[in-house]
Structures are given as C-alpha cells and as structure tokens.
Chain A
Amino acid sequence: MQMTFWQAALIILVVALGTQLTRWIPFWLFPEKKEPPKAVAYLGRVLPAAMMGLLVVYCLKGVQWTAAPHGVPELVSVAVVAALHKWKGNVLLSIAGGTILYMLLVQVVFA
C-alpha cells in the first residue's frame, strides 16, 4: 500500500462523489414538481431501448474479432440467449442457458 489511509479514503470518496454526481444531475435538472420539457419526456421514452443497445455493444467491446476465436463464443452465446428468449420468453432460462454455454465455450471448447 503506497498511499496513507487518509489518501486512499479520500480517493474513494471523490470517486463516490463523481459517480453520484452523474446519477443525481438529471433529477436536479428536472425536479419532480416541475413538468420536464417535451424533449426530455421523449428521451425518457426512447433512451431505455437505446441504452440497452449500447450496453450490449459495451459488453462485447473487448472481443478480438481479428484473432482466434474471432468472437465465436460471444456471438454463438448471444444468439442462443436470443433464441431461447424468443422461444420460451423466460428471462432466467435464457440467461442461464447462454451463460453456461459461454462458460463451456471459453473454458473447454476454445480453451
């Protein structure tokens, strides 16, 4: 440990402050009692879908497409999750199925 106790504590505290700032800003900008502008209400409706798309890409950002196994474990597992979900519509089943398959692929098949 290179930092003193208080230095480390302060770093953690400012990281918490920065993080919390990003979570609170929208609620400060558009308080409950005031009707938010129409554009904000519109964003509130469309952003969840857009951000879910961003999060999927974000999760796959580390995949090396040009080197073996060329993202095959990820693509196959995502496809299986999607297929399971389309078929049964059971959130847990889709996620467990895809995750177990992915673990097998990276630990056994493409190890």
Chain B
Amino acid sequence: METRKKPISTALKAAFPVTVPVMTGYLCLGMAFGVLMKANGYGALWSAAMSLVVFAGSMQFLTISLLTAAFDPLQAFLLAVMVNARHMFYGLAVLDKYKGLGKVRAFLIFTLTDETFSIVSSVEPPEGVERKPFYIWVSLLDYAYWVGGSLLGGLMGNLLSFDTTGMDFALTALFVVLFMEQWKKKEIRPAGAIGVACAAVSLAVFGADNLVIPAMILILAVLLGGRKQLCR
C-alpha cells in the first residue's frame, strides 16, 4: 500500500494542525505555572519535573498551594483523585479507540488530559493515516507543549513583555469547536445537551469550585436513566 510508506511523518502532519490550539493554551498555561512555581521558590527543574510526572493542568496549579502549606501527602493524594475524577469518564469513552494498540497504550493512558481526550474522541485520523501513530503524535505533542511551557516559564520568571492575558481562551475555543464537531452526529446531540445542562445546574448549585464531581454524577445518572430513549 502506497500510503503506508511513511506512517510516522504522515501521521505527524495530520496530528500537528489539530494540536495547534492545545499548543497555544498549554504554552500559556504551562508558562504561567512555571512562573508561579518560581515565585513560590520552586525553579524550572521542579516545574518541568512536575509536568513530566503529573501532566494535569488544574491539579498542578493546586499542587503549588499544597507545596507551600503544611506537609500532608494523604490530602494531596485525595485531592488529586477528586480533582481529576473526570478522567475516569475519558477512559470509558476511549476504551474502544485505544483497543489493540499494544504497548504504547500505556503512554496514551498516561497522557490522557482533557485536551488530548477532546481531540482523540472528536477527530478521526484522515484517510490514509493509521489510528495508532495519529494518537501517539497527538498525545506526545500535547505532552511536549505542556512540559516545554512549564520549563520556559520557570526559566524566564516573569520577564515576558507581551501581554498574554486571555490567550488561554484558546482552550475554551477548542472545546467549543469540538463540541460542535460532536454535535454533527445527530444521534449524539441529546448527550451533548445533557452535558451542558448538567454542568450548568451543578455550577449553579455547587459553585465554581465544586462543580465537576456533582456534574459527573448527574451526567451519568441522566445518560443511564435515559438510555432507552437515547439509544433510539
């Protein structure tokens, strides 16, 4: 097959453009994270190391406050599980896509962030590009942006002269676009609406800091409760 000649570079060419929004968001947020770490006495190597082993944006920002509070590893562990609980749904949703990919599956699971999940679950690799290298590149590029951003932020401190306020909106825009991509599938639309509605209700009831877990429970309840209707 002609298309199989250079699966690596064709997959990279297909994966890179879809990760550009993530690059914008991750570089900005990663740098902000590095700068904040630095301001709290943790240099670039600490930031890069944390990004390498944790790779979860909002949790890493929270970890800065854990690092500057009293030493409490159990609390840190529980907080990480709760803040990142939404990842469990991502795993469920890509069980099928990540099937039969061999050893690299471990890397794909290790790097399954909000943004990586949103791409692999919404964007199909183009014609002639295999699933496996496409997912690997998306995951690897996103990982590199995040680690690179935090390293840069730690190295530069707040030397940045360019005002990046609002640049992290790229991630919001990414989710809006990928939501619309999901919306194209008619039979999936009710699920999308349920996600928005449950999250909005949860935000109104539980507030901005505690919205995720109640929203997940609501979503699960409504999706499972309405399964007969939603399955057509």
Contact with A along B176-193 (1 / 0, CB 8 A): 111110110100110111
Complex Cα distance A47/B95, Å?
A: 12
User: Which residues on the B side are within 8 Å of A107 (C-beta)?
Assistant: 163, 165-166
List 20 interface pairs A-B (beta carbons < 8 Å), by A numbering.
Answer: A8-B46, A11-B67, A12-B67, A19-B80, A23-B84, A26-B95, A43-B224, A44-B92, A47-B89, A48-B93, A50-B192, A51-B118, A51-B195, A55-B175, A57-B195, A77-B172, A92-B17, A94-B173, A95-B20, A106-B165
User: Which residues on the A side are within 8 Å of B160 (C-beta)?
Assistant: none
Complex Cα distance A20/B91, Å?
A: 11
User: Which residues on the A side are within 8 Å of B90 (C-beta)?
Assistant: 23, 26, 51
Given known contacts A16-B54, A18-B79, A36 and B95 CB-to-CB distance under 8 angstroms: yes
Nearest CB of B to A62, in Å: 6
User: Which residues on the B side are within 8 Å of A85 (C-beta)?
Assistant: 176-177, 180
- Which of B91, B169, B174, B191: most chain A Cβ within 10 A? B169
Nearest CB of A to B202, in Å: 8
A67 at the interface (CB under 8 A from B): no
Question: Does B200 contact A52, Cβ atoms closer than 8 Å?
Answer: no
Question: Does A8 contact B42, Cβ atoms closer than 8 Å?
Answer: yes
Question: Does B179 contact A49, Cβ atoms closer than 8 Å?
Answer: yes
Nearest CB of A to B58, in Å: 9
User: Which residues on the B side are within 8 Å of A106 (C-beta)?
Assistant: 165-166
Q: Choose from A11, A48, A98 the contact partner of B76 (Cβ within 8 Å).
A: A11
Chain A residues touching B, majority SS: helix
Complex Cα distance A22/B54, Å?
A: 12
**B43 nearest CB neighbor, chain A only:** A1
Chain B residues touching A, majority SS: helix
Complex Cα distance A105/B40, Å?
A: 31
Residues of B within 8 A of A (CB): 17-18, 20-21, 24, 40-42, 46, 49-50, 53-56, 59-60, 63, 66-68, 71, 73-74, 76-81, 84-96, 98-100, 105, 109-110, 112, 114, 117-118, 121-122, 163, 165-167, 169-180, 182-183, 185, 188-189, 191-200, 203, 208, 211-212, 215-216, 219-220, 223-224, 227, 230-231
Complex Cα distance A16/B203, Å?
A: 27
Question: Does B211 contact A53, Cβ atoms closer than 8 Å?
Answer: no
Question: Does B76 contact A14, Cβ atoms closer than 8 Å?
Answer: yes
Question: Does B80 contact A15, Cβ atoms closer than 8 Å?
Answer: yes
Complex Cα distance A102/B171, Å?
A: 12
**B74 nearest CB neighbor, chain A only:** A14
Given known contacts A47-B223, A85-B177, A41 and B96 CB-to-CB distance under 8 angstroms: yes
Known: A23-B84, A23-B87, A55-B114. 19 other contacts (CB 8 A): A14-B73, A14-B76, A15-B80, A17-B80, A18-B79, A22-B88, A41-B96, A42-B231, A48-B93, A51-B89, A52-B122, A54-B212, A56-B172, A57-B199, A61-B203, A78-B176, A82-B180, A95-B173, A103-B166
Question: Does B203 contact A12, Cβ atoms closer than 8 Å?
Answer: no
User: Which residues on the A side are within 8 Å of B172 (C-beta)?
Assistant: 56, 59-60, 74, 77-78
